[in-house]
């Protein structure tokens, strides 16, 4: 792949937004988008985790999995690296940003099983990105995820006063909104293609 890392970074935010085009990371997206503050906190944590774990997993993949021929173990190893890093991040946030720690609550450890995180590590392997490309793609995907959850949180705040059919309240209307947002993001797709 010879796309520049800079292009990849912007592409990850807009044209191939991890959430709106691949629909990865939906569970925390739907449940933490009730308030803008916690959505922002979780989004920043996801950016951080995505950037660092894509770098870590790139190193692990190219210097451990490939040389020793254990690429078939990539799923397990990637998840273990992500889990350890999230645990580390949890300690860090608990120590230095207790307010954020309490507002994220259970969703912080749940970043471990956020599909977007593993998804980025796997895309990076499938699309044979270089180290710089991987980091740019990870950071871009994180920002894209933050953008998507912030938009949904903003919209959901407005929805509170609106009359919505009972059956659609909560996750139902959020998924419809997400679908419309995804359609809107197709508008970016002419700019650059990375798939």
Partner 1 sequence: MFLRIIQDIALMSSVGVVLAFVMVIAQRWLSNYGELTININSKKDLTVTGGSSLLSSLGEKQIFIPSACGGRGSCGACKCKVNEGGGPLLPTEKPYLSKSEIDGNVRLACQVKVKSDIKIEIPDSIFNIRRFHSEIVEIIDYTYDIKGITFKLLNGETIDFKAGQYVQLETQPYAKVKQSVMRAYSISSKPEINDSIQLIIRLVPEGICTTWVHNHLKQGDKVNFTGPYGDFYLRDTDADILFVAGGSGKAPIKSMLEHLKVVGTQRKMSYFFGARTTKDLYLTEEMQSYEKHFQDFHYIPVLSHPEADDNWEGRTGFVMPYFKEAIRDPKNTEAYLCGSPGMIAGVTKSLVEDYGLSADKIYYDSFG
Q: 11 is written with which tokens?
A: 């592409």
* Chosen residue from 27, 59, 70, 183 binding partner 1 by CB under 8 A: 70
From the CB of 85, what's the least distance to partner 1, in Å? Answer: 9
**Segment 111 to 170, residues that bind partner 1, using CB under 8 A:** none
Question: What is the distance between the alpha carbons of residues 103 and 39, in angstroms, rounded to a whole number?
Answer: 10
From the CB of 102, what's the least distance to partner 1, in Å? Answer: 6
DSSP calls for 46-89: HHHHHHHHHHHHHHHIIIIITTTT-GGGHHHHHHHHHHHHHHHH
* Chosen residue from 36, 44, 55, 64 binding partner 1 by CB under 8 A: 64
From the CB of 177, what's the least distance to partner 1, in Å? Answer: 27
The answer to whether residue 98 forms part of the interface with partner 1 (CB under 8 A) is yes
The answer to whether residue 92 forms part of the interface with partner 1 (CB under 8 A) is yes
The answer to whether residue 172 forms part of the interface with partner 1 (CB under 8 A) is no
The answer to whether residue 91 forms part of the interface with partner 1 (CB under 8 A) is yes
The answer to whether residue 71 forms part of the interface with partner 1 (CB under 8 A) is no
Q: What angle do CA 164, 167, 168 make, to 5 degrees?
A: 50
Measured from the CB atom, is 64 or 110 closer to partner 1? Answer: 64
DSSP calls for 79-147: HHHHHHHHHHHHHHHHHH-HHHHHHHTTHHHHGGG-HHHHHHHHHHHHTT--HHHHHHHHHHHHHHHHH
Question: What is the distance between the alpha carbons of residues 13 and 144, in angstroms, rounded to a whole number?
Answer: 4
* Chosen residue from 27, 59, 66, 73 binding partner 1 by CB under 8 A: 73
Enumerate binding residues for partner 1 (CB under 8 A). 60, 64, 68, 70, 73, 76-77, 80-81, 84, 87-88, 91-92, 94-95, 98-99, 102, 105
């Amino acid at each position: 792949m010879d796309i520049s890392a800079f292009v990849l970074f912007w592409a990850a935010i807009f044209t191939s937004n991890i959430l709106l085009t691949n629909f990865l990371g939906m569970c925390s997206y739907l449940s933490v988008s009730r308030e803008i503050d916690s959505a922002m906190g979780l989004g920043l944590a996801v950016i951080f985790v995505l950037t660092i774990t894509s770098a870590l997993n790139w190193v692990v993949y190219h210097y451990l999995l490939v040389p020793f021929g254990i690429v078939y173990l990539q799923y397990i190893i990637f998840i273990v690296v992500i889990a350890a890093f999230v645990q580390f991040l949890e300690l860090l946030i608990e120590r230095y940003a207790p307010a954020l720690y309490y507002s994220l609550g259970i969703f912080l450890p749940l970043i471990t099983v956020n599909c977007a995180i593993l998804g980025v590590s796997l895309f990076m392997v499938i699309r044979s990105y270089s180290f710089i490309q991987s980091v740019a793609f990870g950071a871009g995907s994180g920002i894209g995820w933050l953008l998507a959850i912030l938009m949904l949180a903003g919209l959901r705040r407005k929805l509170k006063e609106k009359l919505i059919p009972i059956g659609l309240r909560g996750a139902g209307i959020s998924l419809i909104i997400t679908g419309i947002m995804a359609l809107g993001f197709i508008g970016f797709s002419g700019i650059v293609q990375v798939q």
